[in-house]
Structure 1
Amino acid sequence: MNPVRYFVPFAAVRQQPTIVVDSVGLGAALTLAHWRGAATPGPLRDDTSAGSCLRALHHPATSGLEAQAVTANHFDVDGFVGVWALLNPALALRHEMLLRRVATLGDFRELDWADPLADTALQLVCWLNAEEKARFYEPFGAPARRRREDEASAEKFAWFLPRFAEVLENPAAGRAAWGPEYARVKAAVAVAQGPGTQRTGYADVGLVVVRTPGPLPYYALFGPTAGLDWVLSLYDGQRYELECKYTTWIDLESRSTLPRLALGPLAARLNALETSGQIWVADGPTDTGPLLRLAGPRKLSKAQRYADPDGRPIYASSIAPAAMEQEVLAFLRAGYANIQPKKYWTWAEVKATGA
């Protein structure tokens, strides 16, 4: 008999046997997370935390799965889908393939637009995004409201958990919420798939270079980048961003990866070439999505960096596009010269490579 599970705030993790999703915590009866070094059982490892939860539902004898309480220390699409699946196992397994795509799109921004489930996955993610922002706060927005994410996110779970099933089974029920972002992303996908956009992949360093007229929403920009971990966006007007995807912050199960590289040396090299008066800056390698870009008058917050590129200013560089591409490629090839891809990098190993 399957246990009847319920959600508890993260602070209550040790008050009863608790399954911890997309997080790590002392005293967990079972951890189902793709975080680096998380104690997820080997047979349940997956690219997404939701994927691990779905795998667990196929292995009901897993030690710890008998726990009724479920928690997470933050709210995002992947973590929410994982928690919801554990609380609604029959419905989750019925929609497993769709939920896997929702989690992947939510966390990695990757989606094969030729997939028959792609449109529905996008609708569900847009519904979660829209309702989250309208009713609560944007991702990484808790600190600006002087709140702790592990506490504030419990309110999001309380609202979404009883409502998600209706939209999952009938996405049209949530059209009023998901419609605007869905339309914006689909328009951007048309641009990304059009003649004005070109992609060049450098598989040896996990880089894809995207040349496109202007900044795009992440779901359009990163959608077709599965298997690659660096994205260099070259926009008209010599505007550029380089981003290291979230795929190298977590433990991917499906493929090997190269470790992250610290972007400081590349920023220094670009600053030596830059004559616009702007300064190249980069986030550290332990950021969930390190970004290299020309700084503006104000430093971007984490919430702004996580939000779509078409919603933030991107400044013109004096460096020509071809030169920018070659500088990034040379930096990555030098950094990875004696490194082989593998699974399950530790942060200590990442730092030992020069990050």
Structure 2
Amino acid sequence: MPVKSFVPFAQLRRQPTIVVDSTANGAALVLAHWRGAPTPPALRDDTSAGSVLRALHAPATPGLTAAAVTANHFDVDGFVGVWSLLHPALALRHEPLLRLVATLGDFRELDLTDPLADEALKLVCWLNAEEKARFYEPFGAPARRRREDEASAEKFAWFLPAFGAVLENPETGRAAWEPEYARVQQAQLVMQSPATHIRRYPEIGLVVVETPEPLPYYALFGPTAGFDMVLSLYDGQRYEFEYKYTTWIDLESRATLPRLPLQELAARLNHQETAPERWTFDGITDTGPLLRLGGHSLSKVQRYADPDQRPIYASSISPHELEAEVVAFFRARYAGLVPRKRWTWADIRAAGEPRG
């Protein structure tokens, strides 16, 4: 396989180019889990990095000989995919770990029973810390009046030559990863303690996490693998509901139910709510739509950040009543819908149309 190099997204059409964790006309090959992306069927995977690793096992894949690689944004999954194409031998040597890193980065699901989980967490925390310290936080480019596809090229330029050393020996990056790592470790203790209660509703794909205080996603979403919606119930009648990123992409490992618009559920809650704030919601095409009691509109940066890094307001609705309302809404609206793969956005919008 020819040696490859990263090029900024704007240079896509200057030479045959592989596009990772993005989609674009004119690509020699697309390796992405984005909904509707033209990833070859044999290479489809839950993560874009997973598709790249599948491609490395299939060197005859058309387009894989292209010498240029690009992505239109920087995140953990996309970066791991780009890096793997540039360092195929090292990537295949660390394939199980890199798959965990990509899954944790995108879905925030950390399987503590996996022997590589601790190492994956350190690598993701290192990527997060260095990204924020040296550049800007995820989704922060517009606030700096920059386009993400342009600004992210600077991140790739720094991380691509630096990542291999930390992958081979995470201790070399301890100064960067340790603060977030320690925070997540402490949160995992809370998640495993008697103070936390988890209830699952597999027929609608919902996990209810009842825990005292908002926690980092890497701890909060750990027990939610295989589910697509999370209702978090915190002390003081503070709540958030979230559609996970697993329903924004084309998940390969299992079928899913489509996202439903949240305005009807928000209206029901607002009818009951006596607190001064109102229930607000994000659209179904957001990467992780939230339903929450809003004091003010959250920016995309705030919505992507951990729950313990944004304000969460007290509701007048009891936890039992809220859980019952959410479960009843989705049970009624999902009745008759069959989980499947390859939902298009048109399919999802049609599924969310009012019935009657």
TM-score by length of 2: 0.99
The aligned counterpart of 2:49 is 50
Q: CA deviation at 1:335?
A: 1.2
Q: How do 1:154-193 and structure 2 match up within 5 A?
A: 154-193=153-192
The aligned counterpart of 2:144 is 145
Q: CA deviation at 1:354?
A: 1.3
Structure-2 separation of matches of 1:193 and 1:15: 52
Worse-superposed segment, 340-349 or 329-338? 329-338
Q: Which secondary structure does the structure 2 equivalent of 1:107 belong to?
A: helix
Q: What 5-or-longer segments of structure 2 have no aligned partner?
A: none
Q: CA deviation at 1:195?
A: 0.6
Q: CA deviation at 1:23?
A: 0.1
| Aligned residues with identical type, % of pairs | 75
The aligned counterpart of 1:272 is 271
The aligned counterpart of 2:332 is 334
Structure-2 separation of matches of 1:72 and 1:258: 28
AA matched with 1:37: G
Q: Which secondary structure does the structure 1 equivalent of 2:280 belong to?
A: strand
Q: Which secondary structure does the structure 2 equivalent of 1:293 belong to?
A: strand
The aligned counterpart of 1:62 is 61
Q: CA deviation at 1:111?
A: 1.3
Structure-1 separation of matches of 2:268 and 2:38: 39
Structure-2 separation of matches of 1:236 and 1:105: 27
Q: Deviation per CA, 1:43-66: give whole Å up to 9, x if none.
A: 000000000000000000000000
Count matched residues: 353
The aligned counterpart of 2:302 is 304
The aligned counterpart of 1:287 is 286
The aligned counterpart of 1:208 is 207
TM-score by length of 1: 0.99
The aligned counterpart of 2:16 is 17
The aligned counterpart of 1:241 is 240
Structure-2 separation of matches of 1:337 and 1:65: 43
Q: Deviation per CA, 1:191-249: give whole Å up to 9, x if none.
A: 01111001000000000000000000000000121100000000000000000000000
Structure-2 separation of matches of 1:328 and 1:137: 35
Q: Which secondary structure does the structure 1 equivalent of 2:241 belong to?
A: strand
Q: Which secondary structure does the structure 2 equivalent of 1:251 belong to?
A: coil
Structure-1 separation of matches of 2:225 and 2:326: 20
AA matched with 1:241: E
The aligned counterpart of 2:225 is 226
Q: What 5-or-longer segments of structure 1 have no aligned partner?
A: none
Q: Deviation per CA, 1:319-344: give whole Å up to 9, x if none.
A: 00000000000111111011000001
Extract structure 1 runs of 4+ deviating beyond 3 A: none
Q: CA deviation at 1:133?
A: 0.1
Q: CA deviation at 1:114?
A: 1.4
